[in-house]
């Protein structure tokens, strides 16, 4: 049994922060090892987790590309090696960074090999958390077409929610398989407006919970401390997030 959790949402809503917290939550509830996948070209999941990385999967792909069309076994071995190199091993959480999107040129062969290697590698991890890039256009080329749990993260503004709704609907249109799709409102100040709650209800967006805007997160971020290390007693946001995880991940 694997459990794959994915994040989506508009820029700056808290996807990466929540991806880090999700990974920690899984570990704390005995579900490990977790593979944290940074699928954002502007990678920063490592900071949130307090990890460092040197290589990305796109480095591996670039190297492969130069040998497009070459199907010799040595290239397979090479990419396998590079993929392994790109996985940073932590105590309970390993991290892999996808890196920059493809440049010009033909990546078909490289992508095919990388895809196969990645699939094999991912199978080793019973728990995976995927931090996706912001925005709509990226949803259509999500790294994973299947996620057990998909969190759409939004702020509590009306405009923010409309953006979240578009993502919500796009996921359905694209037939990405997500048995459990939830809306999370993050960085909420005060009450969520009736207007916003009405949209959520009307559109049947499955609201998993509301996370307050929290100085503790802000401070940790300012001091370059990994926010995923904050505990529920340090931070009301972590406390709220954990309630959401409990409800949606068990």
Ligand X SMILES: Nc1ncnc2c1ncn2[C@@H]1O[C@H](COP(=O)(O)OP(=O)(O)OP(=O)(O)O)[C@@H](O)[C@H]1O
DSSP string, 9-50: ESTTSSHHHHHHHHHHHHHHTT---EEEEEE-SS--HHHHHT
Print the binding letters for residues 123-142 with ligand X: x by CB under 6 A, - otherwise. -----------x--------
Query: Segment 180-209, which members bind ligand X (CB under 6 A)?
Result: 186-187
- The CB-of-211 to ligand X minimum distance in angstroms stands at 5
- The CB-of-30 to Mg ion minimum distance in angstroms stands at 27
**Which listed range, 11-19, 105-113, 161-169, 194-202, lies at the site for ligand X (CB under 6 A)?**
11-19
Using CB under 6 A as the binding rule, whether residue 228 contacts ligand X is answered as no
Contacts of 218 (CB under 8 A, 6+ apart): none
What is the C-alpha to C-alpha distance for residues 33 and 39, in angstroms, rounded to an integer?
19
Q: What distances in angstroms separate CA 23 from CA 54, 87, 101, 128, 166, one per listed residue?
A: 21, 16, 24, 8, 26
- The tokens for 45 are 């999941």
> For residues 121 and 132, which CB has a smaller minimum distance to ligand X in the complex?
132
The three-state secondary structure class of 132 is strand
The entry of ligand X, Mg ion, none near residue 86 (CB within 5 to 8 angstroms by kind) is none
What is the C-alpha to C-alpha distance for residues 218 and 235, in angstroms, rounded to an integer?
10
The entry of Mg ion, ligand X, none near residue 76 (CB within 5 to 8 angstroms by kind) is none
Whether 205 and 164 have beta carbons less than 8 Å apart is answered as yes
**Which listed range, 6-14, 23-31, 62-70, 194-202, lies at the site for ligand X (CB under 6 A)?**
6-14
Using CB under 6 A as the binding rule, whether residue 15 contacts ligand X is answered as yes
Q: Of the candidates 16, 56, 186, 235, which one interacts with Mg ion according to CB under 5 A?
A: 16
- The CB-of-67 to ligand X minimum distance in angstroms stands at 33
> For residues 143 and 186, which CB has a smaller minimum distance to ligand X in the complex?
186
Whether 129 and 26 have beta carbons less than 8 Å apart is answered as yes
The entry of Mg ion, ligand X, none near residue 227 (CB within 5 to 8 angstroms by kind) is ligand X
Using left for φ > 0, alpha for ψ between -120 and 50, and beta otherwise, residue 82 falls in alpha
Q: Give the binding site for ligand X (CB under 6 A).
A: 9, 11-17, 40, 134, 186-187, 211, 213-214, 217-218, 221, 227, 237
Q: Give the binding site for Mg ion (CB under 5 A).
A: 15-16
């Amino acid at each position: 049994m694997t459990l794959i959790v994915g994040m989506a949402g508009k820029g700056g809503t808290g996807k990466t922060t929540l991806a880090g917290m999700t990974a920690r939550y899984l570990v704390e509830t005995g579900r490990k090892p977790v593979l944290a996948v940074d699928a954002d070209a502007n990678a920063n999941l490592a900071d949130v987790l307090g990890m460092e990385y040197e290589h990305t999967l796109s480095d591996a792909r670039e190297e492969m590309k130069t040998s497009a069309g070459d199907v010799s076994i040595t290239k397979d071995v090479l990419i396998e090696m590079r993929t392994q190199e790109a996985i940073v091993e932590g105590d309970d959480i390993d991290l892999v960074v996808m890196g920059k999107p493809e440049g010009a040129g033909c990546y078909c062969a490289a992508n095919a090999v990388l895809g196969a290697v990645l699939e094999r590698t991912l199978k080793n991890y019973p728990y995976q958390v995927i931090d996706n890039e912001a925005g709509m256009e990226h949803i259509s080329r999500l790294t994973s077409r299947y996620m057990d749990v998909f969190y759409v993260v939004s702020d509590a503004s009306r405009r923010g929610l409309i953006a979240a709704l578009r993502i919500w609907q796009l996921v359905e249109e694209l037939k990405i398989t997500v048995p459990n799709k939830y809306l999370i409102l993050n960085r909420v100040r005060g009450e969520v407006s009736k207007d916003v709650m009405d949209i959520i209800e009307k559109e049947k967006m499955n609201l998993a919970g509301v996370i307050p805007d929290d100085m503790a997160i802000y401070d940790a971020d300012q001091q370059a401390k990994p926010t995923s290390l904050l505990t529920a007693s340090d931070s009301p946001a972590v406390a709220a997030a954990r309630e959401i995880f409990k409800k949606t991940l068990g």
